[in-house]
């Protein structure tokens, strides 16, 4: 390595360069953070250790980045790890400019054995990412971004100048090379806060603060007895983002993974979560300098969302992407603009307490009624209760049979109203609160609730708890079945269902975090289980979530995309753990199944287990 | 511009319809009531006219027992300015002339420029009340409105005819117009609307007596039964008898 003394003029230029770019960097970051801090609520600091662990996993190990898209993710990881390794090199580089190297010649030499390979990895990484962005150009990346071009060029120059600097150049060439390297770093510092490359700074912070629970919709408390001022304040509050949400907008790296996984988008809909839920809010935030920008979300796109949380789940920078809740509640509560079919739905919920406006349920009458001496409240939900898919009543009875065989007592509530899921997801928080209060009264003496509907399970449990204390435990029936099998309280034999696959309901997998219990149950009944390509927490929504079951006209194919995957998977039987998924599969599979192929059986976990139950009295 | 909107509370389309013990009408317990569908569109049309002209008053008017205040509140929550509740037990009234008389008496002094009502009610479906009121109050009338256009003292109404045809008629104000479903997109009451509705005035009118010109004798669910007739004989005889039965008894050929 060449030892060079820099002139005073060079040192002044260098100092000014660092000062100016650093100041501009701080200013631009601060300008954004100031807006973030105007957001509602505070940044969560609970479960500190778990948060740190998440940062380690998702930032340093790049777990989500790589899992979501293996090759591009891995290439990005190479660049990122290179960036970490280069941290010390960069500090040393500038220190040298002032004649105070941090590393002596020997340490420098030793460290270069690590840095040189990494600089080559970075070149490979950035090269393939550049190829992807500018030549193969996947649609979700959006328009060609000139800043990405600059960044790729800068990183490449940094690596090359570093490598050249290690080769023993003549003093004059070395000096020029050193200056190029320096200026590029300073230019980088200038570019970062003004572009999506700000994720370098914000993503780790954003991942640290992101909520653990999905979905992270804030509760809307409505006091109909309150004063007009209170109401106005509450309504104004609905347009404001939380700190976390505002930080999301500036952290977005524009990779478009959220678009890739969005069922509405894949079904040919308008919704583009990256733009509609995140980037469309960036400029309004900067222009207004405040967080009351939620009304900027595209309304039509907002109504298309199935609230499946796939976008949030997949986001590599820790964004809570989905914002249909925010725009829908503004449309319903503030604007009063509600699609006609949903007005009918809300009216039914208000008048009769159920989605269908019905008063009688033959299924509920056939099942035992709950009394406090029974262990479980068997919560039916409107789907089963009012036969939204008549075949599903059989699934409920099959679950009841399993409980009978296991000797577990249960009963249905006489006055069960809709859990409120459709009202909650479609933004009618007033109707939601009405239903919630009714149901909380009905469940006042219950200690355990079990339901076949993950939407009900989520609302009765986690969502109600956002409003008031919930004193009962809510379990999904697959969890009960899974546990009964594990504890040997029921015996299940292998049946003949051909190749069996499982469709993870989004409410069960992503929102209730349950992916194992249904698999335990299914695997007890078959040796021919296989996974769909998108499974577990990375499942694809059936298309019925977010109240879309009641949407009459669908322009896209959101409701068919998943069914199509099942058809293409060559499964003989598809098992699911959600009544809505069950209904969607039943509707979608038949028309999609090619002629000549036998019909794919749709079963609930309760069906496949009950059919293969070995009981003392009954060995069917 | 002063606009009256007549709204009726009717059993919801999915509601059970139990018949009362003396078979005179429905048993109201157990029925879930809603706003008559086309009345909802009539209300929306009135609200839109008011908003476009940035001036005027929309008054919701309903007739019936106390329970109808629910649809009145709904109208107020959606943006009507005040309401008139003609309070009476409507059970015994089945004829549009009696109803129209009650409405006309209650609103005569209001001097409305426009009266909008639904084309027909979802329960009785007489489809005449709005038109008769218009006649009684000396107003222009039009039925089956699919669109309205208002200009200086004139209202143009697009009427739905048979077989996909439409007719545009221009009428002078005041006018009473019955509205067909689907001519606009009705709104949902906003939270501010719901809260604001509590403070709005509902003028309760209790009419004296009224003539009943028509009433239901007996309300019952139509009975269906099936009969099985065995046709015997040779093939030709069976065919002849079958054709005979199809032609003269069941009248399907």
* Residue A239 in contact with partner chain B when CB distance is under 8 A: no
- Structure tokens, A560: 């068919």
Judge whether B230 lies within some domain. Answer: yes
* Residue A345 in contact with partner chain B when CB distance is under 8 A: no
Nearest residue, CB atoms, B16 vs list A338, A356, A359: A359
Judge whether B104 lies within some domain. Answer: yes
Chain A: closest CA distance from residue B190 (Å): 4
Q: What is the DSSP string of A569-598?
A: TT-SEEEES-HHHHHHHHHHHHHHSPTTSP
Are the Cβ atoms of B34 and A430 closer than 8 angstroms? no
ipTM of the complex: 0.82
Chain B: closest CA distance from residue A434 (Å): 14
* Residue A332 in contact with partner chain B when CB distance is under 8 A: yes
Closest CA to A266 of A256, A279, A253: A256
Nearest residue, CB atoms, B32 vs list A336, A346, A352: A352
Are the Cβ atoms of A224 and B194 closer than 8 angstroms? yes
Lowest-confidence range among A361-365, A545-549, B20-24, B113-117?
B20-24
Interface of B with A (CB under 8 A): 12-16, 30, 32-34, 78, 185-195
Q: Does residue B28 share a domain with residue B118?
A: yes
Q: What is the pLDDT of residue A225?
A: 86
Chain B residue numbers with beta carbons less than 8 Å from the beta carbon of A333 are 190-191
Chain B residue numbers with beta carbons less than 8 Å from the beta carbon of A356 are 14
User: What is the distance between the alpha carbons of residues A75 and A86, in angstroms, rounded to a whole number?
Assistant: 16
Q: Give the best residue of B77, B195, B196 to mutate against chain A (max A CB count within 10 A).
A: B195
Rg (chain A; Cα; Å): 29
Q: Does residue B228 share a domain with residue B191?
A: no
Q: What is the pLDDT of residue B90?
A: 62
Are the Cβ atoms of B191 and A357 closer than 8 angstroms? no
Are the Cβ atoms of A336 and B32 closer than 8 angstroms? no
Chain B: closest CA distance from residue A328 (Å): 12
Q: Does residue B165 share a domain with residue B44?
A: yes
Residue % of chain B over a pLDDT of 90: 65
Q: What is the mean pLDDT of chain A?
A: 93
Q: What is the pLDDT of residue B108?
A: 94
Q: Give the best residue of A221, A231, A336 to mutate against chain B (max B CB count within 10 A).
A: A336
- Structure tokens, A591: 């028309």
| Number of other residues whose CB lies within 10 A of the CB of residue A440 | 17
Chain A residue numbers with beta carbons less than 8 Å from the beta carbon of B51 are none
Q: What is the pLDDT of residue B92?
A: 60
**Cβ within 8 Å of residue A312, ≥6 positions away:** A214, A215, A216, A258, A319, A320, A321, A322
Ranges of chain A with pLDDT below 70? 1-3, 553-555, 615-620
Q: Does residue B112 share a domain with residue B184?
A: yes
Q: What is the pLDDT of residue A618?
A: 47
Q: Does residue B151 share a domain with residue B75?
A: yes
pLDDT category at B91 given cuts 50, 70, 90 is low
Q: Does residue B251 share a domain with residue B140?
A: no
Sheet holding A529-530, edge to edge: A529-530, A500-503, A573-576, A601-604
Q: What is the pLDDT of residue A535?
A: 95
Judge whether B52 lies within some domain. Answer: yes
Q: What is the pLDDT of residue B93?
A: 64
Q: What is the pLDDT of residue A54?
A: 95
In which domain, by residue range, is B186 found? 2-205
Are the Cβ atoms of B192 and A356 closer than 8 angstroms? no
Chain A: closest CA distance from residue B192 (Å): 7
Cβ atoms of residues A572 and A497 within 8 Å = yes
> Closest residue of B to A430, CA-based?
B191
Judge whether B198 lies within some domain. Answer: yes
Q: What is the pLDDT of residue B228?
A: 84
User: What is the distance between the alpha carbons of residues A186 and B78, in angstroms, rounded to a whole number?
Assistant: 59
Judge whether B217 lies within some domain. Answer: no
- Structure tokens, B55: 């001036």
pLDDT category at B94 given cuts 50, 70, 90 is low
Q: Does residue B121 share a domain with residue B231?
A: no
Higher-confidence residue: B143 or B252? B143
Closest CA to A448 of A438, A461, A432: A461
Judge whether B218 lies within some domain. Answer: no
Closest CA to A46 of A199, A213, A292, A201: A213
Q: What is the pLDDT of residue A226?
A: 86
Judge whether B101 lies within some domain. Answer: yes
Runs of H (alpha helix) within A420-577: 421-425, 429-442, 454-458, 464-465, 477-486, 506, 516-523, 558-568
Chain B residue numbers with beta carbons less than 8 Å from the beta carbon of A235 are 191-192
**Cβ within 8 Å of residue A129, ≥6 positions away:** A72, A75, A76, A79, A152
Q: Does residue B198 share a domain with residue B241?
A: no
Are the Cβ atoms of B188 and A222 closer than 8 angstroms? no
Nearest residue, CB atoms, A357 vs list B15, B192, B193: B15
Cis before residue B174, ω within 30 degrees of 0?
Answer: yes
What is the DSSP code (8-state) at residue A461? I
Number of domain units in chain B: 2
Q: Does residue B252 share a domain with residue B143?
A: no
Lowest-confidence range among A215-229, A440-454, B82-96, B170-184?
B82-96
Chain A residue numbers with beta carbons less than 8 Å from the beta carbon of B32 are 351-352, 357, 359
Are the Cβ atoms of B34 and A351 closer than 8 angstroms? yes
Chain B: closest CA distance from residue A359 (Å): 7
For residue A340, CA distances in Å to A144, A239, A430, A457, B41 come to 40, 24, 18, 27, 12
Q: What is the pLDDT of residue A619?
A: 39
Chain A: closest CA distance from residue B110 (Å): 29
Q: Does residue B22 share a domain with residue B110?
A: yes
Q: What is the pLDDT of residue A168?
A: 81
Nearest residue, CB atoms, B195 vs list A228, A347, A356: A228
Judge whether B211 lies within some domain. Answer: no
Q: What is the pLDDT of residue A620?
A: 39
- Structure tokens, B239: 């065919």
| Number of other residues whose CB lies within 10 A of the CB of residue A577 | 31
User: What is the distance between the alpha carbons of residues A99 and A101, in angstroms, rounded to a whole number?
Assistant: 6
Q: Does residue B242 share a domain with residue B189?
A: no
Q: What digits encode the pLDDT tens for the residues B137-157? A: 999 999 999 999 998 889 999
Q: Does residue B244 share a domain with residue B142?
A: no
Query: What 3-state DSSP class applies to B49?
Result: helix
- Structure tokens, B189: 């009451």
Cβ atoms of residues B148 and B155 within 8 Å = yes
User: What is the distance between the alpha carbons of residues A233 and A546, in angstroms, rounded to a whole number?
Assistant: 27
> Closest residue of A to B78, CA-based?
A336
Chain B: closest CA distance from residue A547 (Å): 17
CATH code assigned at B159: 3.40.50.620
A&B contacts, CB < 8 Å: 58
Nearest residue, CB atoms, A335 vs list B16, B34, B190: B190
Q: What is the pLDDT of residue A24?
A: 95
Mean pLDDT of B5-31: 87
């Amino acid at each position: 390595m060449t030892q060079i003394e820099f002139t005073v003029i060079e040192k002044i230029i260098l100092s000014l360069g660092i000062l100016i770019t650093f100041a501009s960097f701080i200013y631009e970051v601060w300008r954004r953070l100031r807006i973030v801090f105007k957001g509602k609520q505070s940044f969560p600091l609970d479960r500190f250790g778990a948060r740190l662990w998440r940062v380690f996993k998702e930032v340093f190990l790049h777990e989500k980045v790589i899992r979501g898209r293996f090759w591009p993710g891995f290439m990005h990881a190479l660049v990122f790890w290179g960036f970490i390794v280069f941290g010390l090199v960069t500090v040393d580089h500038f220190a040298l400019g002032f004649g105070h190297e941090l590393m002596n010649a020997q340490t420098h030499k030793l460290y270069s054995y690590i840095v040189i390979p990494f600089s080559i990895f970075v070149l490979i990484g950035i090269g393939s990412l550049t190829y992807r962005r500018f030549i193969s150009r996947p649609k979700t990346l959006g328009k060609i971004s000139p800043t990405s071009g600059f960044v790729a060029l800068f990183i490449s120059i940094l690596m090359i100048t570093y490598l050249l600097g290690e080769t023993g150049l003549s003093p004059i060439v070395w000096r020029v090379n050193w200056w190029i390297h320096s200026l590029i770093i300073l230019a980088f510092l200038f570019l970062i806060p003004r572009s999506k490359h700000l994720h370098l700074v914000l993503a780790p912070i954003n991942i640290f603060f992101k909520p653990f629970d999905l979905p992270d919709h804030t509760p809307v408390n409505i006091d109909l007895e309150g004063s007009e001022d209170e109401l106005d304040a509450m309504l104004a509050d609905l347009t404001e983002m939380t700190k976390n949400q505002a930080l999301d907008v500036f952290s977005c790296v524009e990779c478009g993974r959220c678009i890739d996984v969005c069922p509405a988008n894949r079904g040919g809909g308008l919704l583009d979560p990256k733009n509609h839920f995140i980037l469309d809010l960036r400029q309004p935030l900067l222009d207004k300098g405040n967080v009351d920008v939620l009304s900027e979300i595209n309304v039509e796109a907002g109504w298309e969302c199935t609230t499946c949380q796939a976008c949030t789940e997949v986001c590599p920078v820790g964004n809570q992407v989905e914002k249909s809740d925010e725009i829908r509640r503004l449309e319903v509560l503030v604007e009063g603009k509600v699609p006609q079919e949903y007005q009918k739905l809300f009216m039914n919920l208000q008048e009769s307490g159920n989605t269908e406006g019905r008063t009688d349920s033959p299924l509920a009458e056939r099942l035992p009624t709950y009394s406090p001496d029974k262990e479980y409240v068997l919560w039916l939900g409107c789907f089963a209760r009012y036969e939204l898919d008549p075949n599903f009543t059989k699934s409920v009875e099959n679950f009841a049979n399993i409980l009978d065989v296991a000797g577990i007592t249960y009963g249905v509530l006489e006055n069960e109203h809709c859990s409120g899921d459709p009202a909650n997801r479609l933004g009618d928080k007033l109707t939601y609160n009405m239903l919630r209060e009714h149901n909380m009264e009905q469940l006042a003496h219950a200690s355990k609730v079990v339901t076949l509907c993950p939407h009900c399970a989520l609302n009765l449990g986690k969502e109600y708890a956002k409003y008031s204390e919930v004193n009962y435990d809510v379990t999904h029936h697959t969890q009960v079945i899974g546990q009964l099998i594990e504890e040997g309280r029921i015996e299940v034999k292998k049946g003949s269902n051909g190749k069996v696959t499982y469709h993870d309901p989004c409410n069960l997998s992503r929102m209730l975090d349950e992916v194992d219990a249904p698999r335990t149950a299914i695997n007890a009944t078959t040796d021919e289980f296989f996974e769909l390509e998108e499974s577990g927490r990375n499942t694809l929504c059936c298309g019925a979530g977010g109240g879309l079951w009641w949407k009459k006209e669908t322009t896209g194919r959101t409701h068919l995309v998943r069914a199509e995957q099942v058809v293409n998977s060559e499964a003989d039987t598809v098992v699911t753990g959600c009544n809505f998924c069950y209904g969607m599969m039943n509707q979608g599979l038949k028309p999609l199944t090619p002629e000549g192929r036998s019909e794919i059986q749709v079963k609930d976990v309760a069906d496949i287990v009950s059919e293969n139950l070995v009981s003392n009295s009954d060995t069917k | 511009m002063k606009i009256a909107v007549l709204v009726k509370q009717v059993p919801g389309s999915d509601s059970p319809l139990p018949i009362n013990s003396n078979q005179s009408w429905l048993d109201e317990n157990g029925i879930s009531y809603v706003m008559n569908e086309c009345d909802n569109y009539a209300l929306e049309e009135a609200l839109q006219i008011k908003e476009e002209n940035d001036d005027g008053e929309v008054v919701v008017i309903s007739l019936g027992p106390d329970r109808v205040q629910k649809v009145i509140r709904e109208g107020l929550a959606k943006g009507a300015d005040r309401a008139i509740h003609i309070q009476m037990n409507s059970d015994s009234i089945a004829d549009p002339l009696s109803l129209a008389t009650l409405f006309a008496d209650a609103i005569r002094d209001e001097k409305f420029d426009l009266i909008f009502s639904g084309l027909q009610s979802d329960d009785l479906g007489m489809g005449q009340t709005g038109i008769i009121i218009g006649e009684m109050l000396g107003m222009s009338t039009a039925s089956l409105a699919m669109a309205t256009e208002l200009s200086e003292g004139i209202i143009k109404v697009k009427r739905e005819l048979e077989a996909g045809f439409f007719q545009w008629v221009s009428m002078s104000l005041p006018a009473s117009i019955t509205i067909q479903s689907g001519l606009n997109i009705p709104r949902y009451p906003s939270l501010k609307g719901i809260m604001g509705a509590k403070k709005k005035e509902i003028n309760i009118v209790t009419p004296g007596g009224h003539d009943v010109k028509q009433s239901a004798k007996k309300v019952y669910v139509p009975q269906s039964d099936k009969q099985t007739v065995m046709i015997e004989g040779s093939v030709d005889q069976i065919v002849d008898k079958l054709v005979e039965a199809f032609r003269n008894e069941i009248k399907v050929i």
